[in-house]
């Protein structure tokens, strides 16, 4: 029973119509009491020219930067193409120089063998001349003992002996000069071998430069300096090779002159 009474005392969820009407009338009255305040609205005009100028400057700076970057990239590409062309030319010249050096080395070895054989022939001729001089001296002694009256023949033989001695001394001097030139030639060959080793080092430098160019290295000026150094080294090796060829030519001329001189002594 008590529970039923408590349920009856719970107010309804839907309000009464009178309460709703009174609430609406109160709100209308409150709305009529509110007085709107008057206010002054001012329209301010702001100029957009500074913003436009700033945007134009930014566009100009960006355009100049892009143009400068394009010009720099074009210059870099031009330098890179020039470096690649010079690198190809250097590789071709290096290959030609290597072939020339190999051929010159073989020619030098052949000429050295020929010069050795000629020097051996000269020493053999010198021994023959010495034996001939000994025989002439013995014959002079025999003739002087056999006939003291043959002074004229002895004088002629003495002149021949003196001439032979002079020729022998000249031959000895030329042989010594040939030995000196041969020592210089050996030193030049050693220097040429060092130049060949430097060419091998330059080949490795060219390989490293090509790798640097392929990897996009921006130090083009440094690569150009290295290429100029390699060109100077190749010119130095070529000049040294020409000097060796001239030394070989002079040595060959001296050997031929000495052979002619020895042949003249043998004819006498």
pLDDT at 126: 78
Residue 92 lies in a domain: yes
- Residue 11: inside a domain, yes or no? no
Residue 39 binned pLDDT confidence (cut-offs 50, 70, 90) = very low
Which tokens is 57 given?
Answer: 């400057």
- For residue 188, count other CB atoms closer than 10 A to its CB: 19
89: CATH: 1.20.1270
Phi-psi region of 216 (alpha: psi -120 to 50; beta: other; left: phi over 0): left
Please check whether residue 67 lies inside any domain of the structure: no
Instruction: Please count the structural domains in the chain.
Output: 1
Q: Is residue 75 part of a domain?
A: no
Has residue 57 been placed in a domain?
A: no
> The dihedral of CA 167, 169, 175, 177: what is its sign?
negative
CB 90 within 8 A of CB 209: no
DSSP letter at 149 equals T
Q: How many CB atoms are closer than 10 A to CB 248?
A: 20
Placement of tokens 């130095």 in the chain: 236
Per-residue pLDDT tens for 253-265? 777 777 676 665 5
Question: Could you tell me the pTM of the whole model?
Answer: 0.33
* Domain contains 76: no
As a whole number of angstroms, the distance between CA 144 and CA 35 comes to 172
Total count of residues recorded for the chain: 268
Look at residue 237 and tell me if it is in a domain.
yes
Assigned domain for 53 exists: no
Phi, psi of 42 (to 5 degrees): -115, 125
In terms of residue numbers, what domain contains 189?
81-267
């Amino acid at each position: 029973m008590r529970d039923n009474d408590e349920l009856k005392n719970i107010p309804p969820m839907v309000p009464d119509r009178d309460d709703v009407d009174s609430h609406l009338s109160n709100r209308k009255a409150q709305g009529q009491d509110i007085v709107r305040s008057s206010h002054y609205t001012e329209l301010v005009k702001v100029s957009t020219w500074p913003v436009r100028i700033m945007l134009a400057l930014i566009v100009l700076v960006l355009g100049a930067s892009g143009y400068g970057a394009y010009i720099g990239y074009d210059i870099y590409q031009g330098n890179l193409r020039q470096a690649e062309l010079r690198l190809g030319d250097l590789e071709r010249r290096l290959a030609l120089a290597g072939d020339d050096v190999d051929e010159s080395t073989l020619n030098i070895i052949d000429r050295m063998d020929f010069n050795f054989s000629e020097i051996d022939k000269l020493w053999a001729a010198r021994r023959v001349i010495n034996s001939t001089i000994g025989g002439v001296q013995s014959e002079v002694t025999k003739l002087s003992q056999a006939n003291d009256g043959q002074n004229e023949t002895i004088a002629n033989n003495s002149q021949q002996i003196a001439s032979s001695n002079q020729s022998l001394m000249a031959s000895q001097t030329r042989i010594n000069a040939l030995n000196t030139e041969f020592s210089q030639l050996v030193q030049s060959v050693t220097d040429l071998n060092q130049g060949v080793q430097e060419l091998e080092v330059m080949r490795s430098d060219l390989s490293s430069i090509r790798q640097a160019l392929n990897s996009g290295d921006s130090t083009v000026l440094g690569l150009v300096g290295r290429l100029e150094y390699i060109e100077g080294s190749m010119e130095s090796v070529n000049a040294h090779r020409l000097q060796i060829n001239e030394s070989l030519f002079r040595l060959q001329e001296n050997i031929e002159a000495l052979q002619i001189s020895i042949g003249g002594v043998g004819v006498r």
